[in-house]
Amino acid sequence: MASVLCLSACGGSGDENTPVPEEKVYPAYTDITASGGDTTTYDASESGHGFSTPAPNLTAAELALHLDGDLGFETAFTTAPNDAHPELDGLGPVFNNADCNSCHQRDGRNSTPQVAAGETRVKLGSEAGIFLRISKAPDEPCLVGTAANNYCAPIAVPNFGGQLFHRGVLKARNDWEQNKFIGQADVYLSYETKVISYSDGTTVTLKKPLFDVENPYDAPGETKSSANVTSNLLQDDVLMGWRNGMPVFGLGLLEAIPEADIVANVDADDANNDGISGRANYVFDAVKAQAGDSNPVSLGRFGWKANTPSVRVQSLGALRGDIGITNPLFPDESIKGTALHDDYLTRTGFVDTGAGIDGEPEANAEFSDSVVFYAETLAVPARRRVADADVREGARLFEQLNCSGCHTPSFATKASGDIGGTEMIAGHKSQTIYPFSDMLLHDMGEELADGRPDFLADGSEWRTRPLWGIGLTQTVNPQAGFLHDGRAATLEEAILWHGGEAQQSTDDFMALNAVERAQVVDFLMSL
Amino acid sequence: MKHFTHSAVAIALISALAACGGSGSDSTPAPVPDGTFSFAATEMVTNLTDDVIVAGYSDLATRGATLLASTQTLVATPSQSNLEAVQQAWKAARQPWEQGESHIFGPVDSLGIDPHLDSWPLNTTDLTTVLSTTTGFDAKTIKGWNDDVQGFHTMEYLLFGDGVTTNTKMIADLSDNERDYLMGLAEVFRDYTKNLDDAWLISHDASTGKAYGELIKNPGSDGNTFYSSNVGVVQELINGMIGIVDEVGNGKIADPFGADAASADTSKVESQYSWNSLTDFSNNIIGVRNVYQGELAGSADKQGIVDFVAAADKELAARVGTEIDNAILTIQAIEGSSDMPFRQAISDVEGRKRIQTAVDALSKLQTSLESDVLPLLKTWKV
């Protein structure tokens, strides 16, 4: 290629008939490699360790805390009581997984469950990093969060809660001798497919995950189609939506973006008439509530619907929610007060399902703080192949398709201040970062909708996913998929699922020729 | 928010000027060594995939089948010799698994096989309850249970006893129900080890995906979203070596070792029931040597990471090889002259000195891999 350019540039004697190539304009981020500023890692950025490396600008003390958190992130908890390892007990009694790593494999996305040959569906077990969020349908949309309406939080399903736990410790259910290690219900995953055709005849088969929920603990053996359904879980007004584990790296940087810079991109009514709105979610903030704030609400930044305000709330919420490990921020089991929990306590006589025998939460402050710090300080992998001509063309097309209308390329982090009452990490200050997300909610259309509101997010809205590192997703985990439920096996499939506000971009993508479509994917793979 | 700075044409012109600017002037400076090196990695990656990784997993699958067969024999004819045969089959299966921890990426992780096979610690509370309340175990049911009541260490507990004073279990102490459970566990184990082997040889997701071995061997090929070049593969292999050296030195050994004899904790010793810990640890580092050398012990010489390192720095290549050998030898030496198990050595004055020697050797090796070998990726002219 270089030699061709050389001949073109130097060899001619002024042939006026030589066509002048059309000048193409490339966005500034085309050549950027340091996606995470000074936190960027290069030594692992092409391997399965690409998401698992500590930020290189940590101090020695910070690195030690990070490594403690790394250990905690991989710690598998067990049934209480565990006399040999009391520090590890407290799992569940119902849960989705026994450790953080299972839903964030190698700090990336979880594996997408496969339906075995000859089967029509797969039952979720320990391999599954996916689970169902559940809530009751509200009577009317919640528009402004107040104490009276619980800040627009999802309405818990009576006797179940806000998350469906498909796994349990041995005696979680009172019918445990027939249903060992089963949680609140059995959950099955299946797929339906549809074929998308480009104008050049190329086709792509998309698969959409469906769920069946059966055998709830409050009505063993019942299914949705049972006669006279009695289970609280199987009522018609119970909303359910899949959630996958997300990549964990770079979160401290996202947390350090000034709120004003995120809110500046809000365009709720599409005042600029570009077809893209962008709304902020405002959510209950457990850190503020614990500190006695009279209005414990913050901008939502994390979670598929921007339903959590900080890495601390997200991490410790997952520790309590996904694993059933209580901690200083969430000292009560998430299923406290449900019939399953009450019965479990009575039947087993365990005293440490909400607290250890010392009366402290199952995960102490030291453990909790280190896990939060770990999630805040994983390095962002450096971009790769930025000089590749196809990657560069892909960057140009990414702009042309207006993907950057939501996947905002760049932000600068705060120069000072605190995060949730804690002084921000020095290495996160004043960094120019390239997350490719505006951190806002967007209507993504009916096909992706789960119909389940979450604080101010409606049933069709999702937070823009950061794209940094996305090209390493399947290097880190060969069986990982994309989007909130892992339905997209490739980045091309993920693009094709984009509807709603992104429909025009998707249509424009489909209008590209095969080479150009591949260039867009090449660019994404370089991130 | 759009930022436009320069055009492709501008870049092309800059390149063209750089390429064409010289006129053959006599003042052209003599070439200066640029500190880079060349190495064609394709043969090495192929060797490591086929002759180390896949060969190891195939060996594991074979030994998994043997473990099941010996367990079936034990159930059919409970005897001390048949119990000892299963114990040996368990140890035999442990060898390729532990050696494979030097490259614990890909399907072993994505298919959840690592936690299925090697969850630690096991849940003796639930295990005891299951055994006291249930009969008639089958593999399909066990697969749906939690990982901490299946896999290597559950089988180990049933086969060898609690390991506190001995690793010798008598057949009279193995109940009918425990034997039945063992057979179910061994069948599950056989299935998962076969799945792992198939994932590298046939399909990485046990469905429609390509063989993971082919993906590793063909980075950057059409449709390969896993590795874009051999740089990523070599980086993966080196980081895999670093990972297990770190885990053995700073986890498997250091955690139970503690700061002093008073804080040593036998409950944290992996493979404590069988007293197989030191064999596990040394096999972990033998796995590192397999990747470094490019072949399993006793096999014909093939290209390995050592050849990549030697292309840049022959002295370094030899030094790292020596450090790997030394790490293995110092781990094996922990048992001393009295065949002392690791769980006893952590509380023994002389044993702790030998352990510290091994930890130091591992630390030295880890530093070399991190500080000297991994940075070679930056000067490698691919």
- Which of B20, B147, B235 is opposite residue A9, by nearest beta carbon? B20
Average pLDDT, chain A: 93
CB distance from A479 to chain B under 8 Å? yes
Average pLDDT over residues B30-45: 84
Helix (H) or strand (E) holding A397: helix A389-400
Q: For residue A93, is the peptide bond before it cis, meaning its omega torsion is within 30 degrees of 0?
A: yes
- A429 vs B: CB within 8 A: no
Contacts of A171 in chain B (CB under 8 A): 129
**Of all helices (H) and strands (E), which one includes residue B37?**
strand B37-38
Q: Are residues A10 and B1, on separate chains, in Cβ contact within 8 Å? A: no
Render pLDDT for B134-144 as a digit per residue (tens, 0 to 9).
999 999 999 99
CB contact under 8 A, A79 and B126: yes
> Which of B19, B124, B126 has its CB closest to that of A6?
B19
CA distances, B191 to each of A451, B139, B157, B172 (Å): 40, 9, 20, 29
pLDDT at B21 over 60: no
Note the pLDDT of residue B2: 28
Cβ contacts of residue B223 below 8 Å, gap of 6+?
A: none
Q: Is the pLDDT of residue B9 over 80?
A: no
Provide the pLDDT for residue A15.
53
CB A247 within 8 A of CB A381: no
A387/chain B closest Cα distance in angstroms: 10
Residues contacting A129, CB < 8 A, separation 6+: A97, A102, A103, A104, A105, A109, A110, A111, A244, A245
- Residue A242: φ, ψ to 5°: -70, 150
Q: Is the pLDDT higher at B11 or at A34?
A: A34
10 Å CB burial of residue A48 (0-12, 13-18, 19+) is buried
Task: Give the pLDDT score at B19.
Answer: 33
Q: Give the confidence band of B33 by pLDDT, cuts at 50, 70, 90.
A: low
Residue A286, classed as helix, strand or coil, is helix
Q: What is the mean pLDDT of chain B?
A: 90
Q: Could you tell me the pLDDT band of residue B30, with boundaries at 50, 70 and 90? A: low
Give the pLDDT band (50/70/90) at residue A360: confident
Q: Give me the mean pLDDT over the B99-123 stretch.
A: 93
Q: Distance (Å) from the C-alpha of residue B204 to the closest C-alpha of chain A? A: 8
A404 part of contact set with chain B, CB < 8 Å: yes
Local confidence band at B90 (pLDDT 50, 70, 90 cut-offs) = very high
- CA–CA dist A101, A110 (Å, integer): 9
- Expressed in angstroms, the distance from the first to the final Cα of chain B is 36
The conformational region for residue B92 under phi > 0 = left, psi -120 to 50 = alpha, else beta, is alpha
Is 70 exceeded by the pLDDT of residue A484? yes
Question: Which of A26, A70, A433 to substitute to test the interface with B, most B CBs within 10 Å?
Answer: A26
**pLDDT of A60:** 97
- Measure Cα distances from B264 to A368, B250, B342, B343 in Å: 24, 14, 11, 9
**Confidence check: pLDDT of A10 > 60:** no
Closest Cβ opposite residue B2 in set A111, A169, A399? A399
pLDDT at A196 over 90: yes
Cβ-Cβ contacts under 8 Å between A and B: the total is: 180
Distance, in angstroms, between B5 CA and closest chain A CA?
A: 6
* C-alpha dihedral (B117, B122, B125, B131), degrees to nearest 10: 30
Look at residue A352 in the predicted model and tell me its pLDDT.
57
Residue A5 has pLDDT above 50, yes or no: no
DSSP A306-356: T-B-SHHHHHHHHHHHTT----SSS-S-TTTTSHHHHHHHHHH--S-SSS-
Give the Cα separation of A262 and A276 in Å (integer): 15
The answer to whether the CB atoms of A79 and B133 lie below 8 A apart is no
Give residue-wise pLDDT tens across range A455-466.
Answer: 999 999 999 999
Chain A contact set for B105 (CB, 8 A)? 47-48
- Asked if B121 and A385 come within 8 Å (Cβ–Cβ), the reply is no
Q: Is the pLDDT of residue A499 over 60?
A: yes
In terms of Cβ atoms closer than 10 Å to its own Cβ (0-12, 13-18, 19+), residue A331 is: middle
pLDDT at B32: 55
Residue B359 clears pLDDT 80, i.e. is over it: yes
**pLDDT at position A72 over 60:** yes
pLDDT band at A152 (very low <50, low <70, confident <90, very high): very high
pLDDT in the model for residue A357: 56
- Pairing relationship of beta strands A422-423 and A418-419 according to DSSP bridges: antiparallel
> Exposed (0-12), middle (13-18) or buried (19+): which is A314, by Cβ within 10 Å?
buried
Least confident of A170-179, A293-302, B30-39, B231-240: B30-39
Chain centroid to Cα B278, Å, comes to 15
Question: Quick check: A157 pLDDT over 70?
Answer: yes
Q: Is the dihedral of CA B91, B95, B101, B105 positive or negative?
A: negative
Q: Answer whether B7 sits within 8 Å of A25, measured CB to CB.
A: yes
Segment B62-81 shows an average pLDDT of 98
DSSP A76-136: PPBPSP-SS-GGGB---SEES-SSSTTTSGGGSPPBPP-PPTT-S-EE--TT---EEEEEE
Residue A8 has pLDDT above 50, yes or no: no
φ and ψ at residue B122, rounded to 5 degrees? -80, 170
Q: Do A5 and B15 touch (CB under 8 A)?
A: yes
Other C-beta atoms within 10 Å of A21: how many? 11
Split at pLDDT 50, 70, 90, the class of A6 is very low
Task: Mutation target for B interface from A3, A4, A5: give the one with most B CBs within 10 A.
Answer: A5
Which among B16, B107, B146 is the nearest to A478, CB-wise?
B107
Residues of A within 8 A of B378 (CB-CB) are 42
Average pLDDT of span B91-116: 96
Mean pLDDT along residues A68-93: 88
CA distance A184 to A160: 7
* 3-state SS track over A420-487: CCEECCHHHCCCEECCCCCCCEEECCCCCCCCCCECCECCCEEECCCCCCHHHHHHHCCCECECCCCC
The predicted model scores a pTM of 0.91
The yes-or-no verdict on residue A50 having pLDDT over 60 is yes
Nearest by CB to residue A44, choosing from B3, B229, B235, is B235
- Kindly provide the residue ranges of all beta strands, DSSP E only, lying in A107-253, ordered along the sequence: 122-123, 131-136, 163-164, 167-168, 186-197, 203-214, 238-243
Using CB atoms within 10 A of its CB, is residue A195 exposed (0-12), middle (13-18) or buried (19+)?
Answer: exposed
Residue A421 has pLDDT above 80, yes or no: no
**Binary contact (A408, B1; C-beta < 8 A):** yes
Output the pLDDT for position A524. Answer: 98
**Which tens digits make up the pLDDT trace of B243-278?**
999 999 999 999 999 999 999 999 999 999 999 999
Contact B205 A170 (CB under 8 A): no
Q: CB of A21 within 8 Å of any CB in chain B? A: yes
pLDDT at A275 over 60: yes
Name the closest residue on chain A to residue B216, using Cα atoms.
Answer: A475
Give the residue among B101, B99, B122 at the shortest CA–CA distance from B185.
B122
State which residue of chain A sits closest to B236, comparing Cα positions. Answer: A47
Put simply, the answer to whether A23 touches B9 (Cβ < 8 Å) is: yes
pLDDT at A14: 45
pLDDT of residue A296: 97
Task: For residue B332, give both structure tokens.
Answer: 């094996």
pLDDT over 90 percentage in chain A = 86
pLDDT at residue B221 tops 90: no
Per CB-CB distance under 8 Å, the chain A contacts of B243 are 49
A10 touches chain B (CB under 8 A): yes
Nearest CA in chain A to B229: A46
Residues on chain A touching B239 (C-beta within 8 angstroms): 43-44, 47-49
B205 vs A48: CB contact, 8 Å cut-off?
no
Cβ pair B148:A76 closer than 8 A:
yes
Q: For position B4, what pLDDT does the model report?
A: 25
Say yes or no: A264 contacts chain B, CB-CB below 8 A.
no
- Written as one letter, the residue type at A237 is D
Give the pLDDT band (50/70/90) at residue B8: very low
Contact (CB<8Å) A181/B145 = yes
Q: Is residue A9 less than 8 Å (CB to CB) from chain B?
A: yes
**Is residue B352 over pLDDT 90?**
yes
- Residues 60-79 of chain A whose Cβ lies under 8 A from any Cβ of chain B: 71, 76, 78-79
Give A 493-512 residues with CB within 8 A of chain B. Answer: none
Quickly count: other Cβ atoms within 10 Å of residue A20's Cβ: 6
